[in-house]
Structure 1
Amino acid sequence: MVELLVRPLADAFMQVGVYVAVLVALFGWLRWRYGDRTTDGLTRHPRLGPLVGALLGVSPGCGGAIILMPLYARGKVSFGTVVAALASTMGDSSWVVIAADPMFALKIHALLFAVGLATGYAIDLFGVDPARTAPDRTTGTLGDRSGIGRPLPVGSSAPAPAPTARSAPLAVLDEAGGRVDRQRRMSVAFWGLTTPAFLVSVPVVFHAVDPSLLSAALGGIDPYLALGCLGTLTALLIFAAGRGRFADDSLETARPHSLRDTFRHSAHEASFITVWVAVAYLGWQILTTTTGFDGSELAFAGVVGVLVGALIGLIPGCAVQIVFTGLYVSGGLPTPTLVANAISQDGDALIPLAALRRRAAALATLITTIPAIVVGVSLLLAV
């Protein structure tokens, strides 16, 4: 029972979750501290757009790519910049690879950067931009991407101003305040577990300490299993409190406004990833133990596998991609299939882009599928 259920849950937190939490917090701090400088420089030097887009996209997580979407909607960056970011991002499944194999993660991210850079500049070279070429529905002329200064249709009125905190019902404000307080308490609990878990995980995972010695020193209690299960349970509570939503799936949370927000969002993000990794680990362990199935029967090898990986990458969001990457870490996927999926997927960055510019989002996700298949098949031929 321990190896079937407890071990996969503990591994999800101790082998992935704690490292994801540390890295997400680090990158969140960098984004909070230096994010504005990057985007300001990007608007001043538009020709560097695809380069900066690829750099932001290849950074672990979805926040780097997300912050480009409103800039594109306002006409500040090119469509090639957006495509470069989407092609180079591995979303939050990148944390899974980084935690499992840092050297392989470095190689695949270098490949993603090169693919995103080349694809982005190719898009700009050919002048592809669905938002720029789409006719304005109200005037029949070519419109800009921002909608600023665009006349209102006849018979329509100006949109009502958004409600302010002063005009909002007190009950709504109280409920929101209580929810934030709960999130902060759960964040404190998460980091309170992550700190000792990290100290235990590093020597155990890298085989510097025999786990049985730690258990003997603590009177028979295995700190790896105990902290791992508690960490996964805490992550599940945070996941449930957030209703299964990811921390970086909106424009607001992609750029935290304070250091406290940074750590709270980092706890939420790491919890989201930990839960889905636990689902992948637990499901794979139960499947292999009860049926003897080892993944070799799946159509994930060869050209078919590359196509499957690229098509799965079309699914918006990070949850499915995290599970898919978890299968690779568990030994259920070949590398070309993972690479095709990594290039094709757009993470949570596609969600705000679809909300702002649906046509551009649809075209961008289709465009990134092309290099995904080409690179995946090329890796097959090279092996």
Structure 2
Amino acid sequence: MVNLLPIIKQTLLITFFVMSMMLIIEYLNVFTKGLWSKGIEKSKWKQVLLGAFLGVTPGCLGAYTAVSLFIHDIIGNGALVATMIATSGDEAFMMFTLFPEKAILLNVVIFTIAIAAGWLTDRFFKKKFYIPASDKHFHVHEIPECTGFPKNTFWHQLKHITPTRALMLMSILFFVTFITLDEHLASGSFHGILKWGHSSHSDSDPLWIKITFFTVISLSTAVIFIVNDHFLEKHLWGHIIKRHFSKIFLWTFFTLLLIALLMKHFDLHSVIQHNMFWVLVAAVLIGIIPESGPHLIFVMLFASGNLPLSILLASSIVQDGHGSLPLLAESRRSFIIVKLLNMAVGFSIGLAGLALGI
């Protein structure tokens, strides 16, 4: 029988850290006002670079933005392909939570692959995948408008704090207290959340991991403090908490539970090692699903030391999280072409990685 308490604690830890990063990214995305997208219409190279950059931005907002730019004829085929190759959806937050150093390396590799794939796409596909028939488009996340965060409202917001802001601040206080008082979580489990049955080289997390953890928590707290009520309600609560919290928690919990059960009854590492090709095929096929969640199994397997980097890389290349949903709604033809190209790139890279023993 699997002990559920550690899994629940680990799920809470992962979910809260992921949500904190999502709050920060949401703030930065809105605050920049999309200024990076100006002046790119005439340069395919700049478009591909922009697409790859939007893709490696954790979450789906970068992909949503790229789809919006694509259907409004601001970026072309190559930039869209680069975006979808570089996009890992909500799983990107998971990777930066569980193995930040390797996640950075993975994103650098994917960014490079996305640029190359985008450039080749523009070379071979001169005609645009999608030509809008009218000015009416499926509504996606446009380049966000920043409503402003005037300093003189800070103290007013604290004096007249809304229930939503109070709830979010109390949740952070509860979580930090929970982490501090729980000896197991405070003394090493963050670095080895998924290393069931594996010995650790040290009894505690490296100092930089603890610093990173509390830095992210502090920044997310600062964001909750300084943003105005409209931004807090619409973006942080409405877009991040309500849409993502339960989904991330449930997918994380059941993925951890599934892997724990498999590892209890099977030599999971041996099974994967003897069926690498078919695991790669499964990763590529599951990557077709335009949904964050099913792909989390590969992130967790890699974090637990049971999956090679090449298969995680292939999964990350093919899957787009929710990023391709607006594209599917607007143009099924474009969605199919982009997915086929992503699958070809992901499978080729994964196969090459397995051949090289990566």
TM range (shorter): 0.7 to 0.9
- Residue number in structure 2 paired with 1:11: 10
Determine if contact 2:95/2:299 at 8 Å carries over to the other structure: yes
- Tell me which of 285, 288, 292 is aligned to 1:314: 288
Secondary structure at the residue paired with 1:207? helix
**C-alpha distance in 2, partners of 1:129/1:187?**
49
Contact 2:45–2:119 (CA under 8 A) maintained in structure 1: no
1:304 aligns with 2:302: no
Instruction: Report the Cα offset of residue 298 of structure 1.
Output: 4.4
Instruction: Quote the Cα distance in structure 1 between the aligned partners of 2:50 and 2:348.
Output: 23
Residue 252 of structure 2 aligns to a residue whose secondary structure is helix
Q: Does 1:59 align with 2:57?
A: yes
| Distance (whole Å) between structure 2 residues aligned to residue 29 and residue 85 of structure 1 | 21
Shift of 1:378: 1.9
* Aligned partner (choices 197, 206, 213) of residue 175 of structure 2: 197
* Distance in 1 of aligned mates of 2:174 and 2:266: 35
Structure 2: how far apart are the matches of 1:311 and 1:299?
19
1:1-383 map, 5 Å:
4-14=3-13, 16-43=14-41, 45-132=43-130, 144-145=131-132, 147-148=134-135, 189=167, 192-198=170-176, 200-201=178-179, 205=185, 207=187, 258-264=231-237, 265-268=239-242, 269-289=244-264, 291-298=265-272, 301-383=275-357
The SS at the match of 2:73 is coil
Would you say the 8 A contact 1:89–1:347 is kept in 2?
yes
Q: Residue 207 of structure 1 aligns to which amino acid in structure 2?
A: S
Q: Residue type matched to 1:355 in 2? A: A
Q: Structure 1 pair 187/373, CA: closer, same or farther in 2 (3 Å)? A: farther
SS at match of 1:8: helix
CA 1:205–1:146 in 2, change beyond 3 Å: closer, same or farther? farther
Residues 71 and 205 of structure 1: CA distance in aligned 2, closer, same or farther (over 3 Å):
same
Change (3 A) 1:59 1:326: same
Is the Cα–Cα contact under 8 Å of residues 165 and 232 in structure 2 kept in the other structure?
Answer: no
- TM-score of the two chains, using structure 1 as the length reference: 0.68
Query: Residues 187 and 287 (structure 1 numbering): CA distance in 2 closer, same or farther, change over 3 Å?
Result: farther
Alpha carbons of structure 1 residues 33 and 204: separation in structure 2 relative to 1, 3 Å:
farther
Q: Which blocks of at least 5 consecutive residues in structure 1 are unaligned?
A: 133-143, 150-183, 210-256
2:175 corresponds to which letter in structure 1?
Answer: A
Per-residue displacement from partner, 1:317-340 (whole Å, max 9, x unpaired)?
112112332233234422221111
Alpha-carbon distance in structure 2 between the residues aligned to 1:22 and 1:193: 11
- Greater shift after overlay, 59-68 or 372-381? 372-381
RMSD: 2.9
Number of residues paired by the alignment? 289
The 2-side partners of 1:301 and 1:188 are apart by 50
Distance 1:68 1:189 in 2: 33
Cα 1:349/1:266, change in 2 over 3 Å: same
- 1:41-83 alpha-carbon deviations (Å, 9 max, x no partner): 4447554111000001011111111111122112121011110
Q: SS of the counterpart of 1:148?
A: coil
1:261-320 alpha-carbon deviations (Å, 9 max, x no partner):
23212223244222211110122223433x245353247843333222112111211121
How far did 1:36 drift? 2.2
> Quick one: distance in 1 between partners of 2:303 and 2:274?
14
TM-score with structure 2 length normalisation? Answer: 0.72
Q: CA deviation at 1:375?
A: 1.4
In 2: Cα distance, 1:19 partner to 1:300 partner: 34
Distance 1:314 1:343, change over 3 A: same
| Preserved CA contact (<8 Å) 2:87 2:323 | no
The change in CA–CA distance for 1:198 and 1:334 in structure 2 (over 3 A counts) is farther
> What is the alpha-carbon distance in structure 1 between the residues aligned to residue 316 and residue 79 of structure 2?
18
Q: d(CA) in 2 for partners of 1:354 and 1:126? A: 22
Code of the residue aligned with 2:171 in structure 1: it is L
Deviation at 1:372, TM superposition (A): 0.7
Choose 1 or 2 for highest CA Rg.
1
User: SS where residue 373 of structure 1 aligns?
Assistant: helix
Structure 2, unpaired ranges of 5+: 137-161, 190-229
Instruction: Indicate how the Cα distance of structure 1 residues 208 and 361 shifts in structure 2: closer, same or farther if over 3 A, else same.
Output: closer
Q: State the shift of 1:368 in Å.
A: 0.7
Identity of aligned residues (%): 22
Shift of 1:34: 0.9
